[in-house]
Amino acid sequence: MPDWLEISLRTLSSVVILFLITKALGKRQISQLSLFEYITGITMGNIAAYISLDLDNNWYLGILSLAVWVSVSVGMEFWTLHNKTVRDFVDGRGTVLIQKGILKQEGLKKERITIDELLEQLRKKDVYRVADVEFAIMEQSGEINLMLKKEHQPITPAMLGWHIAEEEEPQTVVMDGLVLEHALDTASRDRNWLKRELKKQKLKLEDVFLAQIDATGQLSVQTGEVSISGNQPKSPKDQIKQLLQQYEDELHMLEQFAKNDDDKIDYRKAIEQLKSLTPQKQQL
């Protein structure tokens, strides 16, 4: 067999073998790697190159070597999965870099990270003052995660006492002009409904690049040139209902954080007055 043909066949075989091995090792091999997984990935690449190009030795020895590495790697993953001591030794543990707004110098020295590098990582997370950080840790993967102090955290509806409806994942029902039947079923819709909605927007199915149904059942369409949303503005009645509910939630929050009993009584009276509008609110 000519050398060029043998090398071509060996290379194709290596590609297939590496693909199957990577599938067997799992998604961690293509995301954040531990130290052992990093070594395994480099070694398997070198062995695959050996299988492809080294014509002086038997190719099956390279496959045997790959099989041994895969066996060791899978065995190590199961071992670390059930043994924290081994997991801490192989994968390492997180290192605290900031605690209560104070830099931990021993943590910086341990990870050999400079203050400039730490500040760069903080800026990537839109944090510009170390004093604003309650807690920061360098994970085993080398990524730095942090938690801001309470007063610097973004305000959420839960902090304000607002009740927000649960959000559901939008369903992609058309992609590249093809209808995704399982997504339509998940959204409790069918082809006839989809055709009617597209007809309202004067579109043909083959013209649709992407179409999604949101949690409210509205269809939004991307044609590749324009974006068409089926969302309609809320009616005045819906807006009034929402505002009344927000006012009631805010009054409950103010009552909860009132400094004295007199203030609590005032907020309670306001809540009762607002609740007296409930029959009118239901009629909206």
The domain tally of the chain equals 4
Pairing label, strands 102-103, 133-138? unpaired
Same domain, 101 and 83: no
- Any domain includes 159: no
Evaluate if residue 202 carries a pLDDT over 90.
no
Domain holding 184, by residue range, is 171-229
The residue behind tokens 């954080």 is 257
Question: What mean pLDDT value characterizes the chain?
Answer: 78
Same domain, 9 and 70: yes
What is the distance between the alpha carbons of residues 150 and 142, in angstroms, rounded to a whole number?
25
pLDDT at position 36:
65
What is the distance between the alpha carbons of residues 271 and 268, in angstroms, rounded to a whole number?
5
pLDDT at position 31:
47
Same domain, 65 and 110: no
- Any domain includes 161: no
Q: How confident is the model at residue 10 (pLDDT cuts 50, 70, 90)?
A: low
- Any domain includes 253: yes
* CATH number of the structural domain spanning residue 123: 3.30.240.20
Same domain, 177 and 131: no
Beta strands in the chain (DSSP E): 95-99, 102-103, 133-138, 144-148, 171-175, 178-179, 210-213, 219-222, 227-229
pLDDT at position 94:
86
- Any domain includes 165: no
Evaluate if residue 281 carries a pLDDT over 60.
no
Query: Exposed/middle/buried for 218, CB within 10 Å: 0-12, 13-18, 19+?
Result: middle
